[in-house]
């Protein structure tokens, strides 16, 4: 009976455009971060950091829109808890990207290490894969592209772990300034955690696909 009712009652489709907006904003903020860590001009970096802050606020607005729709919608395209989890996961990634950029600015880290640049690159790659996966959620019966994107995100996260571990080991071995060690470790940790959050979002999407594909 539940399946019959599910077929007869149209599911609210407004969530898909909202998730598309969230995924697009994620790619934009990740792109700004990658540009920022590769730009030697301090003024241009500060402009990109302001752009990142603006995008983070925009992401919060989209996140609240999705939660408001969830609270006012009776029939949803997939489970309410999964909508909540995916919305939260995407917002968490954006928060860590913003937090990373903010710390680079506040700690006055002017020299971007290869590890910082590489982690920013991996965050962008994972964000682009998430954009693909989110947009393909409309095609529940053909989950191939979603699964492939999620596998690539897991691989990216593993690579980020290796970059982070190597960078921290080298930092402890080579850096003699304790304050700089603390600053760099926190920036690297925030960047690496952003990739963890990408994997968390991919895991939520995989759960949705298992339920509905």
Q: Does any domain span residue 81?
A: yes
pLDDT in tens, 19-78: 999 999 999 999 999 999 999 999 999 999 999 999 999 999 999 999 999 888 878 888
Q: Does any domain span residue 206?
A: yes
Q: Does any domain span residue 5?
A: no
Q: What is the CATH number of the domain that holds 104?
A: 1.20.58.220
| Number of domains within the chain | 1
Percent of the residues in the chain that have a pLDDT greater than 90, as a whole number: 81
Q: Does any domain span residue 6?
A: no
Q: Residue 59 and residue 15: Cα distance in Å, rounded? A: 15
Q: Does any domain span residue 117?
A: yes
Report whether 115 contacts 166 (CB < 8 A).
yes
How confident is residue 212, by pLDDT bands cut at 50, 70 and 90? confident
Q: Does any domain span residue 167?
A: yes
What residues make up the domain containing 170?
13-212
Q: Does any domain span residue 162?
A: yes
Which one, of 83, 90, 104, lies nearest residue 58 by Cα? 90
- Give the angle 76-21-105 at the CA atoms, nearest 5°: 130
Q: Does any domain span residue 8?
A: no
pLDDT in tens, 147-190: 999 999 999 999 999 999 999 999 999 999 999 999 999 999 99
Report whether 191 contacts 119 (CB < 8 A).
yes
């Amino acid at each position: 009976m539940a399946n019959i009712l599910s077929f007869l009652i149209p599911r609210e489709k407004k969530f898909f455009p909202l998730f598309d907006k969230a995924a697009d904003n994620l790619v934009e903020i990740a792109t700004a971060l990658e540009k920022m860590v590769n730009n030697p001009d301090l003024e241009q970096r500060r402009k990109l950091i302001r752009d990142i802050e603006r995008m983070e606020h925009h992401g919060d607005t989209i996140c609240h829109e999705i939660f408001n729709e969830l609270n006012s919608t009776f029939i949803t395209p997939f489970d309410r808890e999964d909508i909540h989890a995916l919305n939260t996961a995407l917002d968490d990634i954006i928060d860590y990207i913003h937090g990373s950029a903010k710390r680079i600015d506040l700690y006055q880290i002017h020299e971007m290490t290869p590890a910082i640049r590489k982690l920013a690159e991996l965050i962008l790659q994972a964000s682009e894969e998430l954009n693909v996966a989110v947009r393909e959620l409309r095609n529940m019966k053909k989950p191939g592209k979603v699964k492939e994107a999620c596998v690539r995100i897991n691989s990216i996260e593993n690579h980020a772990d290796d970059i982070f571990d190597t960078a921290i080991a080298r930092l402890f071995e080579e850096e003699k300034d304790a304050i700089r060690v603390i600053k760099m470790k926190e920036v690297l940790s925030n960047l690496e955690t952003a990739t963890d959050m990408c994997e968390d979002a991919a895991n939520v999407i995989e759960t949705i696909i298992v339920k509905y594909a």
